[in-house]
A and B are shown apart, each in its own frame.
Chain A
Amino acid sequence: QSALTQPRSVSGSPGQSVTISCTGTSGDVGSNNYVSWYQQHPGKAPKLIIYDVNKRPSGVPDRFSGSKSGNTASLTISGLQAEDEADYYCCSYAVTYVVFGGGTTLTVL
């Protein structure tokens, strides 16, 4: 049940794109397509922004996209906006447990 590996922080200027990686193992990220991503602003509950690797819930802008290759999933945010500044967590199903990444703080410069 080891946490997935994410960079601690990323940054970008408004309008730019950033990508956050999430590395797991063949027992979690690499074994299924139940990878999801969550956005969390300070003091708030997490919000689902990507599910099943690359699907977006209703209401989430298409600036957010997800992908996966092998044991690594990625979240890309294009056209950065000030309100995108938040913590981002990846998450993977692993049959008898669920595992999160350590979280990445996105700073919009």
Chain B
Amino acid sequence: EVQLVESGGGLVQPGGSLRLSCVASGFTFSTYAINWVRQAPGEGLEWVSAISGGGETTYYADSVNGRCTISRDNSKNTVYLQMNSLRAEDTAVYFCARWISNYDYWGQGTLVTVSS
């Protein structure tokens, strides 16, 4: 059974940092791209970042480019999202999802709250 489990969310002050993790199981992890998608309270889905299966290619939304870094450790079946210089508008549930021209599997999400 394919599973994606996010962790690392929490309350952080503006300007602070967090590292989110997404642990995968049930499939050959290194052959799939993994994306982060976020959803602010009461709002729609917003694509955040993507990383290829081997980790050599990464992409970022304009809204987080320069403040976030996506990486993966295929030996641990884990994708990370390092988020720096956090702003109030980064408050959201962050989902990781498997990408194969669509998002066929999603995690349950982890809540990031940026507030003083």
Residues of A within 8 A of B (CB): 1, 3, 34, 36, 38, 40, 45-48, 51-52, 57, 87, 89, 91, 93, 96-103
Contacts and interface: CB of A to CB of B under 8 A. Distances in A.
The DSSP consensus for interface residues of chain B is: strand
B75 interface: no
A97 B61 CA distance: 7
B102 A34 contact: yes
Given A36-B102, A98-B35, A1 B62 contact: yes
Given A46-B95, A100-B44, 16 more contacts: A3-B44, A36-B101, A38-B103, A48-B102, A48-B103, A51-B104, A52-B101, A57-B104, A89-B44, A91-B45, A91-B103, A96-B59, A97-B50, A98-B35, A99-B47, A102-B44
The DSSP consensus for interface residues of chain A is: strand
Interface in B75-116: 95, 99, 101-104, 106-109
Contacts of A97: 47, 50, 59, 61
